[in-house]
Amino acid sequence: MRRITLSRYLIEQQREKGSLPGDLRLLIEVVARACKTISVAIGKGELAGVLGGAGSDNVQGEAQKKLDVLSNDILLEANEWGGHLAAMASEEMDDPHPIPNRYPKGEYLLVFDPLDGSSNIDVNLSVGTIFSVLRCAEGMEPTEQAFLQPGTKQVAAGYAVYGPSTILVLTTGDGVDCFTLDREQGSFVLTQPKMSIPEDTKEFAINMSNQRFWEPPMQRYVNDLLLGKEGPRGKDFNMRWVASMVADVHRILTRGGIFMYPLDSKMKDKGGKLRLMYEANPMAFIVEQAGGAATTARQRIMDVQPSSLHQRVPVVLGSKNEVAMVTKYHQS
């Protein structure tokens, strides 16, 4: 079997399709390298003393885990000096991180959730890294304003899952490909080219404990799923909830499904739970590139014009026809 490493894949994309600028290729390679480093730290777990709380809060008032902080530092350090970035922003930092003056600057903006699903760290379940790449408009200072572009402007997005194996899923706007980390060789190898999400599904993912706080259309929709064969949907549904978006989305990319973190009355003033710039947008780009759909239940996620870096949105994504069904419930 032809073994295609991530480096070879990126070089071939650049050469054959001309679709991948050199700086973007470098950026993706550097992010992938950082993910390998994070994967090693997570793999060592308690042995490396990386589990547990960091004793600090992030800008959203959430308690940071040691691995949240460590993963953020790894991504910052890896990406600072290559000359491909104008600035970075992260779930774990209040403001964008400018490239230090001693390094050259590039045209890209990198946004990431360094460790998604942190509540799963200490219980040894899958966690991941999510990232999104934008271009900094010419002549614009890479301040928060430069980042506030809708998801349609993303030039690349991806996520890593640190699970039984470490995988990296990537799109540059030409489909979605999945790589598996060969731990002995230290390289990501293409294992699932051109991922595609089935249009229909019988599996949903939602945190059911929030049911009574959802808006009425979402309550009606999920009730109808639960009624199964006897209800209006005429089929039984299965449910999964890992509480790591990366793992839930990866399952959907592999076998279909619908993932929802809808608006609920507890966080109505915040706009939702998941963050637009570094959770919803990159996942929406990937899901759409794999033939699925991603909405807020009312609007395509990638069309939302961000008003702040840490903005939150409701998220409904996955199998196309099921996502459309959710929109229908919200229209009636």
Question: Cβ of residue 310: shortest distance to ligand AHM, in angstroms?
Answer: 11
**Least distance (Å) between residue 113 CB and Mg ion:** 4
Burial of 323 (0-12, 13-18, 19+ CB in 10 A): buried
Position 113 contacts ligand AHM (CB under 6 A): yes
* Nearest residue (CB) to ligand AHM, 113 versus 288: 113
- Confirm or reject binding of residue 148 to ligand AHM (CB under 6 A): no
- Asked if residue 113 binds Mg ion (CB under 5 A), the reply is yes
CB of 147 to ligand AHM, least distance (A): 18
Taking a C-beta distance cutoff of 8 angstroms, is the pair 172, 19 a contact? yes
For residue 192, list its beta bridge partners.
Answer: 178
Three-point CA angle 328, 330, 331, nearest 5°: 65
Which CB atom, from 237 or from 261, has the smaller least distance to ligand AHM?
Answer: 261
Is 195 among the residues that bind ligand AHM (CB under 6 A)? no
Q: Which partner, Mg ion, ligand AHM, none, binds residue 119 by CB below 5 to 8 Å per kind? A: ligand AHM
- Distance (Å, whole) CA 329 – CA 298: 10
Tell me, what DSSP letter sits at residue 120?
Answer: G
The yes or no reply on residue 72 touching ligand AHM (CB under 6 A) is no
Nearer to Mg ion, 66 or 135 (CB): 66
Nearest approach in angstroms of CB 75 to Mg ion is 14
For residue 24, CA distances in Å to 77, 140, 155, 191, 323 come to: 17, 19, 9, 22, 31
**Using the rule CB under 6 A, which residue among 244, 281, 295, 327 binds ligand AHM?**
244
Q: Buried (b) or exposed (e) across 27-63, using 16+ Cβ within 10 A?
A: bbbbbbbbbbebbbbbeeeeeeebbeeeeeebeeeee
Residue closer to ligand AHM by CB (options 172, 244) is 244
Residues lying near Mg ion in the complex (CB under 5 A) are found at 113, 116
